């Protein structure tokens, strides 16, 4: 288990200290919200109605952006081969990597969400529901995306394929996420969203391990 913890720590440190992951995801997330009024007009009532869905869409796209490089560096420098040789189950190690991805992309969005909510005229009373939905749902984004990233890890230009594979699988998360964000803190959608995350938690590490085995020698 200490190997998984070390891997988690390493990945978090890497993405916080090396540019290209941590801050950029939040920047992208906020920019999406800034661009929306420029596209649809500054009608505050309309913006408030669009806000939960748009924030969730932004979260899904922000997760997708950073997934491309989730396994690439480890594959290129041979660290991935070491994961497979390790005594710790490969699924646990991959789960640690995905958890690190979530901690640096999904978790910050939970705390960035009120800023967006402010920009989009979402009432303060709805913020807890929005933040809860992001906290419960973004792990599913990282997990599902992680499995897809594993499938495309060894490909030269895997980015486009990764979006084509991932976005259809994001449909349930997006539906329940946006509904939970709009539905209030005790909405049943939040439970369904939790269910989606739990299914992803079970399936994704196994699928990712199977997929990465293809790319290690």
Partner 1 sequence: MFGYANPERFWRLSSLLMPWVWGATAILFAIGLYAALVASPDDYQQGATVRIMYVHVPAMWMSLGAYAFIAVASFVSLIWRHVLADVAAKAAAPIGATFTALGLLTGSIWGKPMWGAWWAWDARLTSVLVLFFLYLGYMAMWAAIEDRTRAARAAAILALVGAINLPIIRFSVEWWNTLHQGASVLRAGGSALHASFLYPLLIMGLAYLFLFGALLLVRIRTEILSQRVLADQRRRAANEQLTSPIESEA
Chain contacts with partner 1 (rule: CB under 8 A): 147, 151-152, 154-155, 158, 161, 164-165, 167-169, 171-172, 175-176, 179, 192, 196, 199, 203, 207, 210-211, 214-215
- Smallest distance, partner 1 to C-beta of residue 207, A: 5
Q: Which of 110, 104, 140 is nearest to 9 (CA)?
A: 104
Nearer CB in complex with partner 1: 63/207: 207
Three-state SS for 3-21 is HHHHHHHHHHHHHHHCCCC
DSSP H helical segments within the chain, as ranges? 2-17, 22-40, 44-67, 72-76, 79-85, 90-119, 127-151, 159-169, 171-183, 188-212
- Smallest distance, partner 1 to C-beta of residue 61, A: 16
- Smallest distance, partner 1 to C-beta of residue 173, A: 8
- Taking the C-alpha atoms of 145, 65, 82 and 86 in order, what is their torsion angle to the nearest 10 degrees? -40
Nearer CB in complex with partner 1: 112/174: 174
- Smallest distance, partner 1 to C-beta of residue 153, A: 10
Nearer CB in complex with partner 1: 129/209: 209
Residues 141 and 169: their CA atoms lie apart, in Å, by: 9
Nearer CB in complex with partner 1: 104/173: 173
Q: Which of 123, 124, 125 is nearest to 45 (CA)?
A: 123
Cβ–Cβ under 8 Å, residues 69 and 150: no
Nearer CB in complex with partner 1: 95/211: 211
- Smallest distance, partner 1 to C-beta of residue 102, A: 19
């Amino acid at each position: 288990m200490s190997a998984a913890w070390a891997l988690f720590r390493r990945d978090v440190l890497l993405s916080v200290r090396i540019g290209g992951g941590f801050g950029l995801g939040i920047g992208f997330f906020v920019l999406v919200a800034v661009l929306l009024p420029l596209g649809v007009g500054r009608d505050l009532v309309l913006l408030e109605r669009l806000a939960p869905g748009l924030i969730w869409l932004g979260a899904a796209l922000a997760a997708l952006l950073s997934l491309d490089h989730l396994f690439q560096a480890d594959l290129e420098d041979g660290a991935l081969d070491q994961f497979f040789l390790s005594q710790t189950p490969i699924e646990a190690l991959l789960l640690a990597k995905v958890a690190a991805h979530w901690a640096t992309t999904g978790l910050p969005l939970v705390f960035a969400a009120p800023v967006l909510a402010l920009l989009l005229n979402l009432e303060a009373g709805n913020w807890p529901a929005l933040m809860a939905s992001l906290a419960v749902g973004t792990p599913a984004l990282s997990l599902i995306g992680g499995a897809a990233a594993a499938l495309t890890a060894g490909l030269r230009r895997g980015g486009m394929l990764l979006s084509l594979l991932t976005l259809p699988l994001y449909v349930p998360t997006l539906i329940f996420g946006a509904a939970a964000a709009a539905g209030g803190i005790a909405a049943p959608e939040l439970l369904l969203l939790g269910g989606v995350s739990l299914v992803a938690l079970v399936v994704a590490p196994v699928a990712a391990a199977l997929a990465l085995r293809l790319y290690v020698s």
